[in-house]
Chain A
Amino acid sequence: MTQSVAETSAARLAGTAETGEAVHAVAPVSLVGTLPVLGPTTARRVFRHPAVTSALSFACFILAWWAVAVWTASPIQLPSPPAVASALIDLAQDGELFDNVSVSFVRLLISMAAAALLALPLGFSMGLSERVNSYVDPLLEMLRPISGIAWIPLGLFIFGIGGTLPVFIMAYVAFFPMLLNTVAGVRGSDRKLVAAARTMGVSPLRIVRLVVLPGALPTIIVGVRIAFAGAWAAIIAAELIGSPSGLGFAIEWYRELLMSPNVFAYIIVVSAVGYTCDLLLQLLRRRLTPWASGAELA
Chain B
Amino acid sequence: MEAPGTTDPKLRLKGVAKAFTAPRTLKRTLAVTGVDLAVEAGEFICIVGPSGCGKSTVMNMIAGLDMPSSGTIEINGVPVAGPGADRGVMFQDYALFPWLTVEENIGFGLRNGTPGNGLSRGEVEARVREHVELVQLAGSETKYPHQLSGGMRQRVALARLLANGPDVLLMDEPLGALDAQTRLILQTELLRIWGETAPQAARKTAVFITHDIEEAVFLADRVVVMSRHPGRVRAVIPVDLARPRDEHIRATPRFGQLSEEIWGLIRAEAYEAIA
Binding site for B on A (CB under 8 A): 3, 190, 192-193, 195-203, 206, 210-211, 214, 289-292
Contacts and interface: CB of A to CB of B under 8 A. Distances in A.
Interface string B137-152: 0000000111000000
List the 8 shortest-distance A-B pairs measured between CB atoms, nearest first: A201-B114, A200-B109, A201-B85, A201-B113, A200-B113, A202-B113, A196-B95, A198-B83
Given A211-B97, A291-B99, A197 B113 contact: yes
Interface size class of B (residues with CB under 8 A): 20 to 34
A293 B84 CA distance: 33
Contacts of B83: 195, 198-199, 201
Contact of B112 (A3, A210, A290): A210
B176 interface: no
Given A192-B91, A201-B84, A292-B98, 11 more contacts: A192-B95, A193-B97, A197-B112, A199-B83, A199-B88, A200-B85, A200-B88, A200-B114, A200-B164, A201-B113, A214-B99
Contacts of B87: 199
Contacts of A195: 63, 65, 83, 89, 91, 95
Interface in B103-139: 108-109, 112-115
Contact of A291 (B63, B115, B146): B146
B7 to A, nearest CB: 27
B8 interface: no
Nearest to A293: B146
B115 A197 contact: no
Contacts of B112: 197, 200, 202, 206, 210
B109 A201 contact: yes
Nearest to B166: A199
A199 B89 contact: yes
B89 A291 contact: no
Contacts of B95: 190, 192-193, 195-196
Nearest to B145: A291
A213 to B, nearest CB: 10
Contacts of B167: none
Contact of B63 (A190, A199, A214, A292): A199
A3 B98 CA distance: 13
